């Protein structure tokens, strides 16, 4: 019997890319490829790239070059780029990075096995010519669902597969293969974005907004629960728009309680919320539904009205603070995180002071700060009133220091609280670590559980916060408080 072809998937970027990698893994395994963790053990190393900002693009190129270095020293025979950077630049990336044996766009995903086999056999699959993917779907959101079957949309694979196609397959198995054993998994709610923020190029290569059917999201969640997943995180470019192309902008409010009732799921988390699109009904569901985390990943980006208008966004300091007051009036323990851009073209010292005013009053649990840099193909890149790089760097350092102080203070406010912690790692040296409802994976800190002997990965436990280490919490488990109570996930 011939030796099975082996492939490794190296994933960079956001949780949406992680879902895409697991969809690619499902397709490849269904076609007979053996998935391996280490690129050095693979015939083909597939690097799922990120094309969001310069730093992410550099990381993607570094990962491709690192994989290329394996060729000639082990099993690896080919290195292939997929993902956002490959989709965004296509032929340009292939010419600039000849070390990559293939550059595949989203349209290649359905035939990923054939593409890799061609490359492995020494053939050439021409890199695609990038195009504005916003133009592939109808302008009217409600007309997109039918057209969506003709356009490649990563993460929107069919929910039902024949027997034997995916691990533990059955009537609910999606086109997906888990690449790790974490008790947490992301579920794609939608793809693309209809917003036109002047600094963001994502819609041009991810396309217009299109929702997945609620039945597909539910089926995938059931399948993940069968794989041992305890927490799902709903991801997309803009979750607050979910359902608008299905005829019901309030569809998320109806879907969340159904997801929370899936047997085996202990926590449902929603990411990527637009402040301008938050509505009272959604806030109510997020703050009152058992097993739905009262967690608000709000994309503020700034709070000075002039800067926000230049960004093609809405709101200001006072309106944002009112939104936070509304949320905390319903759930005082709610977690809130956000990202901010400093040094945007035209940002004045008064604008920066306004952002500081917001941050000092917002009591955010996690803050990401980025210095502005031109992003190719965006409106902001054409603006004339750019700040000097030194000024941007200085403002970035200043706001980053402030953010670090503020999130540490917010963590200290939680001392004395009782939190529900999902155990994610048990290590002899590091101890027992997990996350509370206000902490998303990888971005918002963690909980260090003292006296957690006997706890295992995937357990949900109540614990009392007794201290902090920066943004991280230190907590003591409460005896007899494991998962199963009516308030699980809150």
Report the binding-site residues for [4Fe-4S] cluster.
14, 50, 84, 193, 197, 200
CA-atom Rg of the chain in angstroms: 23
Task: With CA atoms as reference, report the closest residue to 323 among 278, 289, 291, 364.
Answer: 278
Instruction: Note whether 191 and 155 are within 8 A (CB).
Output: yes
Task: With CA atoms as reference, report the closest residue to 265 among 300, 227, 237.
Answer: 227
Instruction: Note whether 488 and 420 are within 8 A (CB).
Output: yes
**Exposed e or buried b per residue across 330-365, where buried means at least 16 C-beta atoms within 10 angstroms of its C-beta:** ebeebbbbbbbbbbbbbbeeebbebbbebbebbebb
Task: With CA atoms as reference, report the closest residue to 372 among 314, 301, 316, 303.
Answer: 301
CA dihedral 350, 355, 358, 360 (to 10 degrees): -100
Structure tokens at 233: 């995180």
Element (H, E) at 431: strand 431-435
- What residue numbers does the annotated binding site cover? 14, 50, 84, 193, 197, 200
Distance from C-alpha of 105 to C-alpha of 84, rounded to nearest angstrom: 8
Instruction: Note whether 105 and 90 are within 8 A (CB).
Output: yes
| Alpha helical stretches, state H, 296-432 | 305-310, 317-330, 349-362, 389-413
**DSSP conformational letter for 22:** H
Sheet strands side by side (includes 295-297):
295-297, 335-342, 366-371
Distance from C-alpha of 470 to C-alpha of 406, rounded to nearest angstrom: 10
Structure tokens at 121: 């056999």
* Number of neighbouring beta carbons within 10 Å of residue 427: 8
DSSP string, 262-305: STT--EEEE--B-GGG--HHHHHHHHHSTTB--EEEB--B---H
Sheet strands side by side (includes 34-35):
34-35, 6-11, 44-49, 78-83, 102-103
């Amino acid at each position: 019997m011939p030796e099975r072809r082996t492939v490794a998937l190296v994933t960079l970027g956001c949780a949406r890319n992680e879902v895409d990698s697991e969809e690619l893994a499902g397709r490849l395994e269904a076609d007979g490829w053996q998935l391996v963790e280490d690129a050095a053990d693979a015939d083909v190393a597939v690097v799922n790239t990120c094309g969001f900002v310069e730093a992410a693009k550099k990381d993607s190129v570094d990962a491709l070059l690192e994989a290329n270095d394996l060729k000639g020293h082990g099993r690896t025979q080919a290195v292939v780029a997929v993902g956002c950077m490959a989709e965004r630049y296509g032929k340009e990336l292939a010419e600039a990075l000849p070390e990559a044996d293939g550059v595949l766009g989203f349209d290649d995903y359905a035939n990923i096995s054939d593409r890799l086999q061609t490359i492995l056999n020494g053939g050439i699959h021409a890199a695609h010519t990038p195009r504005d993917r916003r133009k592939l779907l109808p302008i009217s959101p409600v007309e997109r669902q039918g057209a969506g079957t003709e356009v490649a949309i990563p993460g929107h694979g069919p929910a039902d597969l024949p027997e034997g196609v995916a691990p533990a397959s059955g009537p609910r198995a999606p086109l997906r293969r888990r690449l790790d054993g974490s008790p947490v998994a992301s579920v794609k709610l939608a793809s693309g974005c209809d917003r036109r923020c002047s600094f963001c190029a994502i819609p041009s290569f991810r396309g217009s907004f299109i929702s997945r059917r609620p039945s597909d999201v539910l089926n995938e969640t059931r399948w993940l629960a069968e794989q041992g997943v305890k927490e799902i995180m709903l991801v997309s470019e803009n979750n607050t728009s979910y359902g608008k192309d299905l005829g019901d902008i309030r569809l998320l409010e109806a879907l969340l309680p159904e997801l929370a009732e899936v047997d085996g799921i202990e926590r449902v988390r929603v990411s990527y919320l637009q402040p301008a699109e938050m509505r009272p009904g959604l806030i109510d569901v997020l703050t009152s539904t058992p097993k739905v985390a009262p967690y608000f990943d709000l994309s503020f980006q700034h709070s000075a009205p002039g800067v926000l208008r230049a960004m093609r966004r809405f709101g200001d300091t006072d309106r944002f603070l009112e939104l936070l007051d509304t949320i905390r009036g319903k759930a005082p323990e709610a977690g809130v995180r956000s990202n901010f851009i400093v040094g945007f073209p035209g940002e004045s010292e008064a604008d920066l002071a306004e952002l500081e005013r917001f941050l000092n009053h917002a009591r955010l649990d996690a803050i990401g700060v980025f210095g502005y840099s031109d992003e190719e193909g965006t409106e902001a890149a054409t603006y004339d009133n750019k700040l000097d790089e030194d000024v941007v760097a200085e403002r970035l350092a200043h706001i980053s220091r402030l953010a670090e102080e503020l999130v540490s203070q917010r963590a200290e406010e939680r001392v004395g609280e009782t939190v529900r912690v999902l155990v994610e790692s048990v290590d002899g040296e590091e101890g027992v670590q997990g996350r509370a409802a206000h902490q998303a994976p990888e971005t918002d800190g963690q909980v260090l559980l003292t006296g957690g002997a006997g706890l295992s990965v995937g357990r949900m436990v109540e614990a009392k916060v007794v201290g902090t280490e920066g943004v991280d919490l230190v907590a003591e488990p409460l005896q007899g408080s494991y998962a199963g109570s009516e308030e699980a996930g809150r």
